[in-house]
Amino acid sequence: MKTIKAGAKSPEVYYLNELLAKLKYNVVVSDYFGTATDKSVKDFQLKNNLVVDGVVGLKTWSTLLEKSKNGFSSNNKLLSEQDLINFSKQFNLELAVVKAVNEVESNGKGFLIDGRPKILFEGHIFWRELEKRNINPKSYMNSNTQDILFENYTKKYYVGGTAEYIRLEKARNLAQDKRFIDAANCSASWGLFQIMGFNAVSIGYKSIDEFVEKMNQNEGDHLKAFGLFLEKNNLLGVLRNKNWASFALKYNGPAYKTNKYDEKLMRAYLKYSR
């Protein structure tokens, strides 16, 4: 594991926050090493006879893994080199292009430390998905649902990691009605490439249930969903032409400029094309 400290932003930080959350520290599971993470790391170091410096290096990583007894250590769910090679051949893409997109867009790994696929629940999408099913969202608004049901986009209720499943389950159980389960599953982004559930049927899955089942299998299935999404949204030609800005705009939205996704994709491509 890479040595990290306050201010860092990386997949390793996301994993660190997962481990700290599992150990009952009050952190938001994200890829940012902020004040809460720094405070938790120092408390963990103090309680485990480590140097209290807030730096997560070899000794702190080793102790964290030992104390958390991380159960998700099998490689059978993880993406392999052959998966990427097969994908590049299937869609007539340079392998360096595929590796670049995988590095920048996948943000590390598609599964949580408990073996479930990584998700992010979107309350404003849940609102729309209920409306699609002729359900009035306003009828279910109250103080207990404010974190899962709202009309306009906000990051306010993101919690990250396994805690996102608490929000998903709350949405699924809002009423004893299969339509609510389907609407909730459609309102989360799933796996390595964070494909929104509402895309499931349009990109080729029989139902949202089949999509969720596949997302629970392995990262190879996450890559397959990504390929279907690219195909459906006419993004393969953009990648073949290495038009990074156009791809970033269509895949990430206008915010790509702030996050410099196009520049990250270009740099990653140049690295792998060597």
How is the chain split into domains, by residue range? 11-68
Q: Which of 20, 33, 34, 3 is closest to 162 using CA atoms?
A: 20
CB 190 within 8 A of CB 215: yes
Q: Which of 228, 180, 187, 186 is closest to 209 using CA atoms?
A: 186
| Degrees to nearest 5, angle at CA 120 with 118 and 124 | 160
**What local confidence, expressed as pLDDT, does residue 20 receive?**
95
pTM above 0.95, yes or no: no
d(CA 42, CA 53): 7
- How many residues in total does the chain contain? 274
CATH architecture of the domain with range 11-68: Orthogonal Bundle (1.10)
Provide the 10 A C-beta neighbour count for residue 91: 15
Question: Tens-of-pLDDT digits for all 274 residues of the chain?
Answer: 789 999 999 989 999 999 999 999 999 999 999 999 999 999 999 999 988 999 999 899 999 998 987 655 556 788 888 999 999 999 999 999 999 999 888 776 788 888 899 999 999 999 999 999 999 999 999 999 999 999 999 999 999 889 999 999 999 999 999 999 999 999 999 999 999 999 999 999 999 999 999 999 999 999 999 999 999 999 999 999 999 999 999 998 888 888 899 999 999 999 999 8
